[in-house]
């Protein structure tokens, strides 16, 4: 079968393309932005790529068009597809019907931590010899690829609550039909498609409805919104996890979250020591350990695997250490994630200065849905430079004024980098936080520091 994927260079759709190719399909696709590294990864798999969305890209007609959720009505390829009555399907539906229906699916849902937890869960199952398939919204360090079929029966998938396509407004995860589902956390996000928390909770409950009675739900014991989701109806055994709370419990040994003890229903499992930081990382670890155990792995035997887990790129990734200034690249999209990440770093570095460069990049950030929560989330930062592009529809002074002299705005990335360079000195930790490209700011900053040190 010849597939044409619209939006093929997105992380999710690129993973779908790789899996389809591995299944033996002939795969091609188009995107507005065909450039490395995704383009080179796909071309290496023998996948043909086309720049832009043109009607002629769908001529002759493919057997099936797989439509990414970035596609909208008015797009020339979409209009041609509809006018010519080509067969089409969303990426999540294709994945569910073509691949996941034959596998034992472990789905990782939540506002935060999906990519890291999915990568960790795949790593744990791999270390247990189960050879899982996976699809991750990033590149797991232990695998070096974002998707693979795997040789075993298990398939681990990052289960996003965002909608599936312009013609299918259900959350992606409704298509996955997992036997084991992690509900990591739930907060208000995606202000462009969800009016309130209740709308997101309804989608999470749709996911709960699909998990069979002989499966397992792994649920954050601290999350009141998730408790309300389960109260809507639950037909699956539930195991909870938390720091000092739940069936799976962690007790911190190191305040920064790099070492902690694990207990299951009062019984000691052992200790985890690893390179990740923060309470949120501890929670991700508990969720992944509980899910791997539900899949049949021995939890005690899994503990050493945490020590060689390599996190996903752009999750507090150290990109340089120049003259005592350590620079991090972090994928931040929500105040809670910002707060927990900085709290973990603060616990590790003590009184050393933390400088934050923040780009409001997600749809919710740009719409101002999280504006009131940003200043409190930056409490552990000693200085903040906020990228306030002219097109931002709200005034960032709401954030900078609330930080009482610890924050300034910059209209461009060049101005932001110049400001940071003037402030940074030996012993500082500089964290770039954005869920977008940030114009390659972290690495440009490292290059600027290197040039100054010569």
Residue 25's domain is classified under what CATH number?
3.40.50.720
Range of the domain at 62: 2-91
Q: β-pairing, 88-90 with 104-109?
A: unpaired
Q: How many helices (H) and strands (E) would you count in the chain?
A: 15, 23
Is the domain of 215 the same as that of 137? yes
Residue 67 inside a domain? The answer is yes
CB atoms within 10 A of CB 350: 7
Is the domain of 127 the same as that of 143? yes
Mapping DSSP to helix (H, G, I), strand (E, B) and coil, where does residue 90 land? strand
Mapping DSSP to helix (H, G, I), strand (E, B) and coil, where does residue 41 land? helix
138 is in an annotated binding site: no
Is the domain of 300 the same as that of 323? no
Is the domain of 278 the same as that of 298? yes
- Among 38, 72, 91, the domain-final residue is 91
Is the domain of 293 the same as that of 324? no
Is the domain of 162 the same as that of 224? yes
Residue 159 inside a domain? The answer is yes
* Under 8 Å between Cβ of 31 and 16: no
Residue 289 token pair: 């350990």
* Under 8 Å between Cβ of 26 and 85: no
Is the domain of 60 the same as that of 103? no
Q: What is the dihedral of CA 188, 194, 199, 204, to 10 degrees?
A: -70
- What is the chain's pLDDT, residue by residue, as a tens digit (454 residues)? 999 999 998 889 999 999 999 999 999 999 998 766 677 888 888 999 999 999 999 999 999 999 999 999 999 999 999 999 999 999 999 999 999 999 999 999 998 889 999 999 999 999 999 999 999 988 888 998 889 999 999 999 999 998 999 999 999 999 999 999 999 999 877 667 778 999 999 999 999 999 999 999 999 999 999 999 999 999 999 999 999 999 999 999 998 899 999 999 999 999 999 988 889 899 999 999 999 999 999 999 999 999 999 977 677 888 899 999 999 998 876 788 888 889 888 988 899 999 999 888 766 666 665 667 788 889 899 999 989 888 777 777 888 888 888 988 899 999 999 999 999 999 999 999 887 778 889 999 999 998 876 6
Residue 312 inside a domain? The answer is no
End-to-end, the C-alpha distance of the chain in Å comes to: 56
- Among 91, 115, 145, the domain-final residue is 91
CB-count burial class (<10 Å; 0-12, 13-18, 19+) for 271: middle
Give rounded-to-5 percent helix, strand, coil for the chain.
35, 25, 40
Residues 449, 325: Cα–Cα separation, whole Å: 9
Residues 10, 38: Cα–Cα separation, whole Å: 8
Mapping DSSP to helix (H, G, I), strand (E, B) and coil, where does residue 415 land? helix
Is the domain of 53 the same as that of 23? yes
Length of the chain equals: 454
pTM, 2 dp: 0.81
Provide the pLDDT for residue 370: 65
* Under 8 Å between Cβ of 276 and 123: no
User: Which stretch of DSSP H or E encloses residue 337?
Assistant: helix 335-349
Residue 110 token pair: 């939540």
Residues 249, 254: Cα–Cα separation, whole Å: 15
Residues 67, 37: Cα–Cα separation, whole Å: 21
270 is in an annotated binding site: no
Residue 395 inside a domain? The answer is yes
112 is in an annotated binding site: yes
Is the domain of 270 the same as that of 366? no
Residue 79 inside a domain? The answer is yes
* Under 8 Å between Cβ of 185 and 226: yes
Residues 83, 61: Cα–Cα separation, whole Å: 12
Is the domain of 132 the same as that of 81? no
Q: What are the DSSP E strand ranges found in 304-353?
A: 317-322, 325-330
Residue 174 inside a domain? The answer is yes
Please report, for the domain that includes residue 142, its CATH number. 3.40.1190.10
* Domain total in the chain: 3
Residue 134 inside a domain? The answer is yes
Residues 445, 416: Cα–Cα separation, whole Å: 10
Residue 383 inside a domain? The answer is yes
- Among 91, 107, 137, the domain-final residue is 91
245 is in an annotated binding site: no
CB-count burial class (<10 Å; 0-12, 13-18, 19+) for 136: buried
Mapping DSSP to helix (H, G, I), strand (E, B) and coil, where does residue 238 land? strand
Is the domain of 54 the same as that of 108? no
115 is in an annotated binding site: yes
Is the domain of 223 the same as that of 274? yes
Please report, for the domain that includes residue 382, its CATH number. 3.90.190.20
386: β partners: 358, 409
């Amino acid at each position: 079968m010849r597939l044409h994927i619209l939006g093929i260079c997105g992380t999710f759709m690129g993973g779908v393309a790789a899996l389809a190719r591995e299944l033996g399909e002939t795969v091609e696709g188009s995107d507005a932005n065909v450039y490395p590294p995704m383009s080179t990864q796909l071309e290496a798999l023998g996948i043909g790529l086309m720049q832009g969305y043109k009607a002629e890209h769908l001529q002759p007609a493919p057997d099936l068009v797989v439509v990414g959720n970035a596609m909208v009505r008015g797009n020339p390829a979409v209009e041609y597809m509809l006018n010519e009555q080509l067969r089409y399907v969303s990426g999540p539906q294709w994945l569910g019907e073509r691949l996941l229906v034959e596998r034992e699916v472990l789905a990782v849902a939540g506002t935060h931590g999906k990519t890291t937890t999915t990568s960790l869960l795949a790593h744990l199952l791999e270390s247990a010899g189960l050879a899982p398939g996976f699809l991750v919204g990033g590149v797991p360090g232990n695998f070096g690829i974002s998707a693979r079929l795997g040789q075993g029966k298990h398939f681990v998938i990052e289960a996003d609550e965002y909608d599936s396509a312009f013609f299918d407004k259900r959350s992606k995860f409704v298509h996955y039909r997992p036997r084991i589902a992690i509900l990591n956390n739930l907060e208000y996000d995606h202000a462009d498609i969800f009016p309130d928390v209740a709308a997101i909770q309804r989608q999470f409950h749709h996911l709960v409805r699909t998990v069979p009675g002989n499966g397992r739900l792994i649920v954050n014991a601290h999350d009141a919104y998730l408790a309300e989701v389960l109260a809507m109806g639950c037909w699956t055994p539930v195991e909870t996890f938390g720091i000092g709370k739940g069936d799976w419990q962690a007790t911190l040994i190191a305040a920064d979250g790099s070492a902690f003890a694990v207990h299951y229903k009062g019984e000691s499992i052992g200790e985890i020591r690893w390179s990740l930081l923060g309470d949120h990382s501890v929670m991700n670890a508990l969720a992944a350990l509980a899910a791997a155990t539900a899949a049949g792995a021995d939890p005690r035997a899994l503990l050493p695997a945490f020590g060689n887990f390599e996190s996903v790129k752009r999750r507090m990734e150290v990109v340089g250490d120049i003259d005592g200034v350590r620079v991090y690249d972090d994928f931040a999209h929500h105040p809670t994630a910002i707060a927990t990440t900085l709290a973990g770093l603060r616990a590790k570095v003590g009184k050393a200065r933390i400088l934050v460069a923040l780009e409001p990049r997600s749809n919710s950030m740009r719409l101002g849905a999280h504006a009131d929560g940003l200043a409190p989330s930056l409490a552990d930062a000693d200085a903040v430079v906020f990228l306030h592009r002219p097109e931002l529809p709200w005034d960032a002074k709401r954030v900078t004024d609330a930080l009482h002299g610890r924050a300034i705005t910059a209209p461009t990335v060049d101005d932001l980098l110049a400001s940071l360079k003037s402030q940074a000195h030996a012993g500082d930790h500089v964290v770039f936080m954005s869920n977008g490209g940030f114009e390659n700011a972290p690495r440009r900053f490292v290059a600027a520091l290197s040039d100054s040190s010569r």
